[in-house]
Structure 1
């Protein structure tokens, strides 16, 4: 198992927001984590990437404890986190933002190869490589956020709400590109409000409800589940 979250409890101050969450991610999978606002989806990703510390439980990456590592060492280990809201450096160019994504690497050839791969995935970024990130459209900024995360050629890509605020056509493009990234050998953990789109590209999914795993199954089974349809897919 590539990533194992075991009995994870997370608190913000005295308030516990995750109550014993367990999630398994196999190498090569896309795993979607679904749930309403406040269910604990973003907190789960933040804890994997070391930005939030668990009160209890453990996170294992290839069997090694991840929850005791510092955030920058987790990036070095091969886990990239694309947070909700994109978090661009607006006064830097597209190219400069991408280079910042490779801060853990000194291998210039590898950096160039990764950059070319990202420009293949997102040709519009190549066209705009000398443009300030703050002047890009929302969709282009999301592509840049994903590209920046890919600059370390991660083993696992953690994505938080990549479709947020995007037009439907752009959402389709982003999700198709996620499938290409996965086909290139990158395991994906996807937190997404657009449950239908997320489950269509995922292998398996988990449903979080108020900090607990309410359901877990193959993605096709979750898409067909009446409870999931009513709660997250707007009915059948």
Structure 2
């Protein structure tokens, strides 16, 4: 198993946001985490990436406990995150943003190869490499956020709401690129409000409600699950 989360409790001050969740991700999978706002999806990603320290429980990467390891060391191990809201550096150029994603890497030849791959995935980033990131469209900024995370050469990519605020055609394009990234060997954990698109892309899924995982299944099974359809897929659609 590439990633395992066991009995994870995470809180903000005295308020517990995750109540002992368990999840696992195999090498090569796309696993999606679904749930309403406030369910704890982003908190789970932040705990995996090291931005939040769990109060209880264990996170293992390739069977190695990592929940006490700082975030930057988890990046070096192969865990990268493209955060909700993109969080690009608007006053830096596209090129500078991408270079920041490779801050843990020292082999410049391999970094250049990764950059070439990202330019193939997102040609607009190559075209606008010297443009200030803050002047990009929302979709282009999302591409940059994903590209910046890929510059770390991750084994597993954590994506938080990549379709947020994007037009349907652009969402379709982003999800096609996520499939290509996965086909290239990158495991993906996807937090996504667009449940239908996420389940069509993913191999497996988890459903969270108020800090707990209430359902786990293959993605195709979740797509036809009546509870999931009613809660996240618009009923009979």
Which of the five TM-score ranges fits, normalised by the shorter chain?
over 0.9
Aligned to 2:73: 73
- Unaligned segments of structure 1, at least 5 residues: none
2:47 corresponds to 1:47: yes
Q: How does 1:119-138 map to 2 (within 5 A)?
A: 119-138=119-138
Aligned to 1:114: 114
**CA distance in 1: counterparts of 2:9 and 2:90, whole angstroms:** 35
Secondary structure at 1:148 match in 2:
helix
CA RMSD of aligned residues (A): 0.5
Aligned to 2:4: 4
Aligned to 2:222: 222
Secondary structure at 1:33 match in 2:
strand
Structure 1 runs (4+) greater than 4 angstroms displaced: none
Aligned to 1:212: 212
**CA distance in 1: counterparts of 2:136 and 2:50, whole angstroms:** 29
2:10 corresponds to 1:24: no
- Unaligned segments of structure 2, at least 5 residues: none
- Summarize deviations over 1:32-53 as a string: whole Å, max 9, x none: 0000000000000000011101
- Summarize deviations over 1:78-124 as a string: whole Å, max 9, x none: 00011100011111111111001000011110110000000000011
How much has 1:168 moved relative to structure 2? 0.4
How much has 1:11 moved relative to structure 2? 1.0
Secondary structure at 2:149 match in 1:
helix
Secondary structure at 2:229 match in 1:
helix
Q: How many residues get paired?
A: 236
How much has 1:66 moved relative to structure 2? 1.1
